Amino acid sequence: MPYLKKSLLLFTFCLAVLSTKATARCSVADTTVKITVDAVGQILPTPLIIAIAAKNDKFKIAYTVVDSVFRNAYLQDPAHKEIQPKTSYFISPYIAISLRNSVKRVDTIATADIVLKDAIARVVNLDSRERLTMNDMAPVLDGHHVKVEITTPAGTKRISSHSPMPDHDTQLYQLLQKCIDIYRDKYPKVRLRAVGY
């Protein structure tokens, strides 16, 4: 009988520890996620930037949507001339130049969407060994690039992908698609050029 009690106590303790670890793993409190999306092959980038701030299971999502870029201003921007010609278009300098010389809008949406929370948690806990990382210089001709920067109390990590799909970089696809769905529900007529619609 004493052995049974000890076994029961040990089982209860282990269950409590596992439960605590699972809760901690799924938590997205004090997390920020920045997603940058841009279509491949554009001379004038029209990026979509999604910034998510998580606090107590509630989320504030800021969408920066570039509609069009002033071609002359973009090409004549001093920073543009300093970038090496062979450098991939999908890097921070090009995106920054595009944002400075464009027609854009910033829309903010507050939500407590549980599916979004789960999608963020999966990306936060994503091990880089579980996926393929897209190299800036990879020879791709179409689709869109996605870069994600995740900041938690434990630090910051960056992940990139080319055209994540349900069967390719699934976690990134689910997060991006959920963010787009939330935006579409509120702004159905705004065109998101970075993702092709």
| Cα–Cα distance measured from residue 108 to residue 133, given in angstroms and rounded to the nearest whole number | 29
Q: Indicate the pLDDT class of residue 12, thresholds 50, 70 and 90.
A: very low
Contact 144, 163 (CB under 8 A): yes
Q: Are strands 48-55 and 155-162 parallel, antiparallel or unpaired?
A: unpaired
The token pair at 168 is: 């390719």
Instruction: List domains and CATH numbers for the chain.
Output: 28-195 (3.30.1560)
Of the listed ranges 19-28, 66-75, 113-122, 161-170, the one predicted with least confidence: 19-28
pLDDT at position 168, please? 82
Average pLDDT over residues 121-139: 60
17, pLDDT greater than 50: no
194, pLDDT greater than 70: yes
Q: To the nearest 10°, report the CA torsion of 152, 158, 162, 166.
A: -30
Q: Indicate the pLDDT class of residue 85, thresholds 50, 70 and 90.
A: low
pLDDT at position 119, please? 94
115, pLDDT greater than 90: yes
Interaxial angle between packed helices 170-186 and 114-124, expressed in degrees from 0 to 180 and rounded to the nearest 10: 150
Contact 160, 133 (CB under 8 A): yes
110, pLDDT greater than 90: yes
As beta bridge partners, residue 184 has none
Interval 30-56: pLDDT, tens: 899 999 888 766 677 788 999 999 988
CA distances to 15, 130, 180 from 170, in Å: 30, 10, 15
Of the listed ranges 38-42, 61-65, 105-109, 142-146, the one predicted with least confidence: 38-42
